[in-house]
Amino acid sequence: MILPQQNIFIELDRHLYAVYEDRELICLGEYKIDDTKAFSYYHKIIDKKNRINNFNSVDLIYDIQFISQDIKFLTGLLFLLRPFINIPSEEGETYFQNRYDARYLPFASLVHQNVYNFWDRIGDLLYFFFDTGLEERKVYIGTVMSNFPNQYRSNEYFIKLNDLYEQKIKSLITTRTQIVHYKQVETKHYLGTFQNYNNQQIKDDLEKEKKGYPEYFKNHLGYCNTGFEYALKLINELPEKTE
């Protein structure tokens, strides 16, 4: 017997899967690298390379895949909720927050954190195979990229990964720091609307950012998949294990 509470989630999943298909949201578990599933490609590459620092490769890939699924799920929720959120410019410049808006904005905060977590794991993965000279407690994607061994900095996959980090990921990490330590997305938009009541440009910018979160994180889901591919292909440039 299915309980009413279970039916709520069954119905939500039905709508989410429609969003996934319509918006073409692809997480790492569905992503292919050179016609090979990302999970299989990962083991194919890392199992034949020497590790600078030992780690549990199964734990890591499952963790990365679960984070990717969470990014997809939260992005799907943003697409699902966006048609019903508050748009002050369409509501006589008022902001009487409705229940959809009150869910949409916290989900936007959470997905920032999940994207950060994904890239943190990519930093870990590279640290396990390349001599960065970093202490483990100082391993982040930014520190790994900054301290990458010179002999690999001209490699095409390092260049691609570093460009992706500099152009797309670095700014999100900065925003995530603001969210975690200073101001939630909901606070930024809700109070920002009132605090800037007489500044139309700031209000317009806030509204544009708010409405753009679903596409923004769809793009970041794609960047995560691509970044994972670049990281593995960079590891593949290392010498093979010698028995």
Q: What is the pLDDT of residues 103-158, one digit of tens each?
A: 999 999 999 999 999 999 999 999 999 999 999 999 999 999 999 999 999 999 99
What is the per-residue pLDDT for 147?
98
Express the helix, strand and coil content of the chain in percent, nearest 5 each: 75, 0, 25
Q: Please tell me the distance from the alpha carbon of residue 37 to that of residue 59, in angstroms, as a whole number.
A: 18
User: How many CB atoms are closer than 10 A to CB 206?
Assistant: 18
d(C-alpha 228, C-alpha 161), whole Å: 9
**For residue 180, what pLDDT is reported?**
87
Token reading at 31: 């992503």
**Residue type (1 letter), 116:** Y
> What is the per-residue pLDDT for 243?
63
Contacts of 205 (CB under 8 A, 6+ apart): none
Which residues touch 92 (CB under 8 Å, ≥6 apart)?
Answer: none
Query: Which tokens go with 197?
Result: 């009541």
From residue 25, alpha-carbon distances to 13, 29, 77, 175, 197 in Å are: 14, 11, 12, 23, 36
Torsion of CA 35, 40, 42, 46, to 10 degrees: -120
Beta-bridge partner residues of 49 = 240
Ranges of residues in the chain with a pLDDT under 50 are none
φ, ψ (nearest 5 deg) of residue 12: -60, -45
Find how far residue 82's CA is from the centre of its chain.
19
pLDDT, residue 242, reads 74
- Terminal CA-CA length for the chain: 56
Predicted pLDDT of residue 4: 87
Quote the distance between the C-alpha of residue 188 and its chain's center.
20
